[in-house]
């Protein structure tokens, strides 16, 4: 990764509450899906095909950006938005870890009560 | 993405047996691997030393919430509170719930853990650190436990 594209989204840690809250909205989830091609998109592109206004989409993008899930770079007069999935991956990995611990504890409980 | 974990497991044992294994503090300690110092009582904290090989220096600390016989047992705790020198008591905790239902031939147990959205981010880092290198060892422990007590 070039030093230029390393913005605050990559350096700051994001509280889980902010990431969960950012993903807990259908419009924002659909934006994440649209951005999952990992290409930079303009606000016009992201508004196209949506029933929401450009302003509304911009607001949702800023929420995602504050949670570190997307990052924007200015290109001339417009901002281009790109997915930055690390905060999502990190939370998912953490939940996988806790989940695996429960699998193991419950497997031990099973052999404990069934023998 | 859901901020809770849910597990369902069917146990070939009567509900009374499962209830005892889950809520008798000595039996709980057997399979959860913790040596608890006192019984579970609603609203009361419980403490004990983890007996999981390699993690014996860690403490289990929880506060019992609900205790509805043969139906619901729940406690709050601090998952991965792995730094013995740190006081976690002021941090948000997660809620663990055990729900028991009769099922054909035994008991359906549902375990949920919720509230992960409230946890501080550093906790996730600690969890990863804890698992670094320790994971392979844990898998071996479980394997030997299972083969010794089939």
The shortest C-alpha distance from B85 to chain A (Å) reads: 22
Spatial CA neighbour of B116 closest among A16, A22, A75, A26: A16
Q: What is the pLDDT of residue B133?
A: 43
Query: Is residue A48's pLDDT more than 50?
Result: yes
- Is the pLDDT score of A6 beyond 90? no
What pLDDT digit, counting tens, does each position of B13-64 carry? 999 999 999 999 999 999 999 999 999 999 999 999 989 887 788 888 899 9
Q: What is the DSSP string of A52-108?
A: S-HHHHHHHHHHHHHTTSEEEEEETTEEEEEE--HHHHHHHHHHHHHHHHHHHHHHH
Of residues B147 and B99, more confidence is placed in B99
Q: Do B117 and A20 touch (CB under 8 A)?
A: yes
> What is the spatial distance between Cα B134 and Cα A8, in angstroms, rounded to a whole number?
32
Residue among B5, B30, B111 minimizing CB distance to A95 = B5
- Closest Cα of chain B to A86: distance in Å? 13
Residue B88 predicted with pLDDT over 80: no
The pLDDT-based confidence of A50 (bands split at 50, 70, 90) is: confident
A110 touches chain B (CB under 8 A): yes
Which residue among A17, A107, A112 places its CB closest to the CB of B21?
A112
Residue B104, chain A, CB below 8 Å: the answer is no
What is the band of A59 on the pLDDT scale with cuts at 50, 70, 90?
A: very high
Q: Is A11 on the interface with B (CB under 8 A)?
A: no
CB spacing of A111 vs B7 below 8 angstroms: no
The answer to whether residue A89 neighbours chain B at the CB level (below 8 Å) is: no
């Amino acid at each position: 990764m070039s030093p230029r594209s390393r913005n605050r989204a990559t350096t700051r840690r994001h509280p889980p509450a902010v990431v969960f809250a950012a993903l807990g909205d259908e419009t924002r989830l659909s934006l994440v899906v649209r951005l999952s091609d990992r290409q930079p998109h303009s606000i016009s592109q992201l508004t196209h095909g949506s029933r929401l206004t450009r302003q509304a989409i911009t607001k949702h993008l800023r929420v995602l950006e504050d949670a570190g899930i997307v990052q924007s770079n200015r290109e001339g007069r417009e901002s281009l938005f790109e997915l930055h999935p690390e905060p999502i991956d990190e939370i998912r990995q953490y939940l996988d870890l806790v989940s695996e611990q429960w699998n193991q504890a419950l497997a031990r409980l099973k052999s404990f009560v069934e023998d | 993405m859901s901020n809770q974990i849910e597990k369902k497991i069917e146990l070939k044992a009567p509900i009374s047996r499962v209830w005892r294994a889950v809520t008798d503090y000595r039996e709980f300690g057997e399979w959860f691997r913790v040596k608890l110092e006192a019984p579970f009582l609603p609203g009361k904290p419980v403490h004990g030393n983890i007996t999981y090989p390699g993690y014996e220096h860690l403490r289990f600390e929880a506060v019992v919430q609900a205790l509805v016989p043969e139906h619901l047992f729940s406690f709050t705790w601090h998952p991965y509170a792995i730094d013995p020198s740190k006081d976690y008591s002021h941090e948000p905790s997660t809620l663990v719930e055990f729900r028991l239902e009769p099922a054909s031939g035994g008991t359906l147990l549902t375990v949920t853990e919720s509230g992960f959205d409230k946890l501080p981010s550093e906790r996730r880092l600690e969890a990863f650190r804890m698992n670094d290198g320790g994971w392979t060892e844990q898998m071996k422990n479980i394997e030997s436990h299972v083969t010794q007590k089939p």
